[in-house]
Amino acid sequence: MMKELLKKLTQTYGPSGNEEIVRDIIRDEIKAYVDEVKVDVLGNLIAVKRGCGTKVMLAAHMDQIGYMVTHIDDKGFLRFARIGGISVGNSINRRVIFKNGVTGVISYDGDIDRISDIKLEKMYIDIGASSREEAEKTVAIGDVAVYCSSFSENNGKYTGKAMDDRAGCALLIETARRLKSSPHEIYFVFTVQEEIGVRGAKTSAYALNPDIGIAIDVTRTGDTPKARPMAVKLGGGPAIKVKDALVMAHPRVKGLMVKRAEELGIPYQMEILEAGGTDAGPIHLTREGVPSGVLSIPCRHIHSDSEMVDASDMENGVKLLQRILEEEIDIF
């Protein structure tokens, strides 16, 4: 079930600021397992499981990185701006797709001798149009394209676009499905615009004013040839964040996650991410402060069209989050 859910979510269009299609799918997937589902002004989807205990905010972002059209030239080629952390090296000769189904290929003016020399202003999207007028029949300034790639499974690994962070969304949905009872009031929050400044988490956390916050997102690994050393690998279990560029995980939240993982006897890893951040960044700075942590899903090839996660890490992530929610939260 997790595989099919993840496939559906990753194959759905939803770049930052255009999350409505994937939001509708998430709503349909989770509504049977919660007491209320609502959408706030910014577009965050908030699914509430009522309770009288600790107010727990769980956040996974719906949006994915993309390419926004800024200019269409006389020959029908599209110039673009980056939406989120697009890598130029990961973009050359990649297929992309717009909301209306139009596909294109990202290319470059001239030959490429070194990836490091690639300039964004020399890149363009080719949709096969022969003139500006032909291109404008299907694409307009401000339209956003995302990677166009298929979902696959090999050796217990799932590969596809938008694992960041549809993997986190799938984990939250599956947790809600399995969670039969909890002493807490739980907010499953599927946030918008994380990739362009963790914006949805900031507004939703302010409105909900939770007692504790846990972001669910992907993280990098150090298990590929010549990878930057990092004590996280695929198949090593969910990662419990220590710090990243936006948050120093609250020691009691981090300790709670470690304690529950050890009680379950599941593998886990400690994560220190030197660059990048998650929704936990704005959550922990909300109002007078919210004790926060992050449950991370190890992911190779982040921000490419072929991100890879491990099925066992996803499964153990669900087990860990479910256990946290079923028990008393003794961090106060």
Q: What is the DSSP letter of 156?
A: T
Distance CA 169, CA 9 (A): 8
| 134, two tokens | 């032909």
Pairing of strands 292-298, 36-39: unpaired
**What is the residue-wise DSSP string for 259-274?**
HHHHHHT---EEEE-S
Q: Is 36 a catalytic residue?
A: no
Instruction: Considering the candidates 19, 194, 195, 307, report the single residue annotated as catalytic.
Output: 194
> What's the CA gap between 276 and 296, in Å, rounded?
13
CA distance 195 to 192: 8
303 alpha-carbon distance from chain centroid: 10
Residues 222, 231 contacting (CB under 8 angstroms): yes
Q: In 3-state terms, what secondary structure has residue 214?
A: strand
Q: Which amino acid is at 258?
A: V
Q: Which residues are identified as catalytic?
A: 194
